[in-house]
Amino acid sequence: MEKPLMIALDFDDLAAVTAFLDRFPDPSQLTVKVGMELFYQAGPAIITDLKKRGCDIFLDLKLFDIPNTVRQAMAQIGQLGVDYVTVHSLGGSAMLKAAKEGLEIGAAKAGVDAPALLAVTELTSISDEVLKNEQHAALPMQDQVLALAQMADQAGCDGVICSALELTTLNAHLRPDFLFVVPGIRMQEDQTGDQVRVASPDQAAADGAKAIVVGRPITKASDPVAAWHRYQNAWQG
Ligand SMILES: O=c1ccn([C@@H]2O[C@H](COP(=O)(O)O)[C@@H](O)[C@H]2O)c(=O)[nH]1
């Protein structure tokens, strides 16, 4: 899909994912995100299952380790045939380059397309205060996210994970085809939970997000399909 709404499948097993997806008339139109909670329990079999359903897949494992370890891990991930993967930008440019190399090695080995590599800048749960007082970052949030995004671009990443609040700055400085994938998405009536840098789907669209990630407002809704339509309508405009 050109402008995906990625549903975060933050469930603890395949049975829960199946029950959720079976509510949708056509799961093949969905883009879904598999994170640590689900992948650590279900393993690569979950990817096989989602591919059979025809979903586009974002594998969000946020790798963060020394370059050699990240290269080897990404060489495994690159064989899975997923569409997007994540790495932490704070691991530095050598680690980001190693991530890209690993993905290309794995994808070539399996004869599949390499996924888009997205670097997490500052998590959307991080506030300005935490950035300053706990991470001891020298830069304010906008500049910090921009600096990490520019490093990610130069290291060969295809895009970043950021909040909607940095989109205007990022769009002014990064190439037009660089991907900005935005979690921390909430409509006014929905609880923010642990998310701090939050915006609505229509605000993210107006500010130039290329994709949004929505989890609990859809997965925990009493009618997830209706919630998905509500977010899609606001996002697609
Ligand atoms: O900065 C980040 C990076 C990743 N996420 C992930 O997105 C979803 C958001 O779920 P909600 O339930 O809509 O809050 C979740 O899987 C996170 O791991 C993020 O929120 N922020």
pLDDT tens-place string over residues 60-119: 999 999 999 999 999 999 999 999 999 999 999 999 999 999 999 999 999 999 999 999
Compute the distance between CA of residue 219 and CA of residue 136 in angstroms, rounded to an integer. 35
Total domains, the chain? 1
Q: Is 52 a catalytic residue?
A: no
Ligand 1 centroid to 182 CA: how many Å?
Answer: 9
- Residue in 12, 124, 167 to alter for ligand 1 test, most ligand atoms within 8 A of Cβ: 124
pLDDT of residue 2: 81
The CATH number of the domain holding residue 98 is 3.20.20.70
| Stated pTM of the model | 0.98
Question: Which residue range forms the structural domain that includes residue 145?
Answer: 5-236
Compute the distance between CA of residue 48 and CA of residue 35 in angstroms, rounded to an integer. 15
- Residue in 213, 216, 235 to alter for ligand 1 test, most ligand atoms within 8 A of Cβ: 213
* Cβ proximity of 22 and 6 under 8 Å: no
Where the chain has pLDDT below 50, the residues are none
Q: Which two tokens stand for residue 110?
A: 């399996």
pLDDT of residue 205: 98
Show the CA angle centred on residue 7, arms to residues 6 and 10, nearest 5°: 135
Average pLDDT, the chain: 98
Nearest Cα to 103, choosing from 86, 120, 122?
A: 86
Q: Is 153 a catalytic residue?
A: no
pLDDT of residue 146: 98
Q: Which two tokens stand for residue 104?
A: 């290309």
Compute the distance between CA of residue 117 and CA of residue 87 in angstroms, rounded to an integer. 7
Contacts of 74 (CB under 8 A, 6+ apart): 63, 85, 87, 98, 99, 100, 101, 102, 103, 105, 106
pLDDT of residue 1: 59
- To the question of whether residue 207 is assigned a binding role by annotation, the answer is no
* Cβ proximity of 70 and 63 under 8 Å: yes
pLDDT of residue 167: 98
Q: Is 51 a catalytic residue?
A: no
| Residue with CA nearest ligand 1 atom 18 | 35
- To the question of whether residue 194 is assigned a binding role by annotation, the answer is no
- To the question of whether residue 195 is assigned a binding role by annotation, the answer is yes
Burial level of 55, CB count in 10 A (0-12/13-18/19+)?
buried
